[in-house]
Amino acid sequence: MNEKNRQNIILKELQNFRDKDFTFSSGHILGSMCTQPHPIAKKAYMNFLETNLGDPELFPGTKEIETKLISFISRLLNAPKTATGLIGSGGTESNITAIWLAKNLSKKREIIIPKSAHFSFQKIASMMDIKLIPVSLNQDYIINISNIRKKINHNTAAVVGVAGSTELGTIDPIPELSEICKDEDVFLHIDAAFGGFVIPFLKELGYKIPDFDFNLKGVSSISIDFHKMGYSAIPIGALIIRNERCLDEISVKTPYISRKKQTGVLATRSGGPVAAAYAVSEYLGMEGYKDLVKRCMNTTEYTVKKINDLGLDLILKPTMNVLGIKLKNSSKVVKKLTELGWKINDMDRLSAIRIVLMPHVTKKIIDDFMPNLEKACKEIGEL
């Protein structure tokens, strides 16, 4: 068999596997915080496939793109001149890096997190021998601010606030957290992996939501993901840190590559996602992202109305493009919807299902989905 035929056979085999996947383009993935990347991301990604940002002296051009991307995201988050950024694989890596930094700076081992925090903090606890101090949520599913001061003590390495929670898209009262952490001189990390590309634009669109970024003097670092609402290709997120001079705390000497020091978790890192994210950010610009958020919020409001018309209730009025629908038997409804070809998340601890109105979810998709949701709910006895 010739070389070309062998390749074709392997590619055909891969395609058969791929055909088993759900796709964003079908619109049937309603429960993911990722989306089909903008078309320009795909082209840019392919052109940078062999680049390695772990050895930037070999790829100085790709490194320049990374620097520009960090500047873009720093501007979005109102980062001061002292700030710096690390590009990583997404929210988990950024959260790991932030807590690693806070732990090394403080030499302490407890972090205070809201109960709504992403499960990456469980990994962090196990990985770094950190004790998690969970704080209850109030009736709006945000951190109970009155409990924070009581929980801060001589072991506290950091407080975490969430700006766009994974389950419901809620935003913790970051201005109050900032004040407390400033007074107590505690590192405040904001997990805006999802909300970072939403909140700044919601504000411009006139939504009344709390501040969350570096304009608040107590904020020490922020996680933000390009592969979520940044409309780019997996895997890429950024951690922006207020003070560049802390970086030594998470750097090691690298005797055998072209740079003498390396900062952050990973060594070898593809420039592909960086080029892709830069292409999308250049193409859309701040105005393009604002339009995207506006479109997602329109679809969210449309979906809320359809859900109410069906006679179902939401857990709470959505803050952003994430909805929780109350159900008695959420797992059964999710199972039924999967049989009907729709992927939606079960949040059984909240007795709810989650829909994320990402850019690939249009009003037409929602119109197609609603009869399926109704059917599933009727069969399970929710309606």
Which residues bind to ligand PLP, rule: CB under 6 A? 33, 90-92, 95, 118, 120, 162, 164, 166, 191, 193-194, 225, 237
Residue recorded with tokens 């592969």: 227
Query: Residue 51 or 165: which CB sits closer to ligand PLP?
Result: 165
| CB neighbourhood size of 21 (10 A) | 9
3-state secondary structure 92-139: HHHHHHHHHHHHHHHCCCEEEEECCCCCHHHHHHHHHCCEEEEECECC
**Judged by CB, which is closer to ligand PLP: 92, or 106?**
92
Angle between helices 272-310 and 60-76 (to 10 degrees): 40
State the residue for tokens 């079908």. 26
Question: Nearest approach, Cβ of 116 to ligand PLP (angstroms)?
Answer: 9
Closest approach, Cβ 254 to ligand PLP, in A, equals: 25
Cβ proximity to ligand PLP: between 232 and 336 the closer is 232
- Which CB, 95 or 221, lies closer to ligand PLP? 95
CA angle 69, 246, 256 (to 5 degrees): 75
314-320 long-range contacts, CB within 8 A, separation 24+: 315/141, 315/168, 315/350, 315/352, 316/140, 316/141, 316/168, 316/170, 318/168, 318/169, 319/164, 319/168, 319/169, 319/170, 319/171, 319/209, 320/164, 320/169, 320/194, 320/195, 320/198, 320/199, 320/202
CB of 61 to ligand PLP, least distance (A): 26
Give the helix/strand (H/E) hosting 156: strand 156-162
The CA distance from 88 to 258, in Å, is 20
Nearer to ligand PLP, 38 or 118 (CB): 118
Smallest gap from Cβ 255 to ligand PLP, in A, equals 30
Amino acid letter at 210? P
* Least distance to ligand PLP, CB of residue 237, Å: 6
Q: How far is the CB of 276 from ligand PLP (least distance, A)?
A: 15
Give CA–CA dist 320/297, Å, rounded.
7
Provide, rounded to whole angstroms, the least separation between the CB of residue 195 and ligand PLP: 7
Helix (H) or strand (E) holding 320: none
Give the nearer residue to ligand PLP in terms of CB position, either 56 or 164: 164
* Shortest Å distance, C-beta 316 to ligand PLP: 17
Are 257 and 55 in contact by the 8 Å Cβ rule? The answer is yes
Helix axes 330-339, 363-380, angle to 10 degrees: 120
Strands 110-114 and 131-135: parallel
Minimal distance, residue 37 CB to ligand PLP, in Å: 14
Nearer to ligand PLP, 54 or 88 (CB): 88
Question: Considering beta carbons, is residue 120 or 221 the nearer one to ligand PLP?
Answer: 120
Give whichever of 58 and 266 is closer to ligand PLP, judged by the CB atom: 266
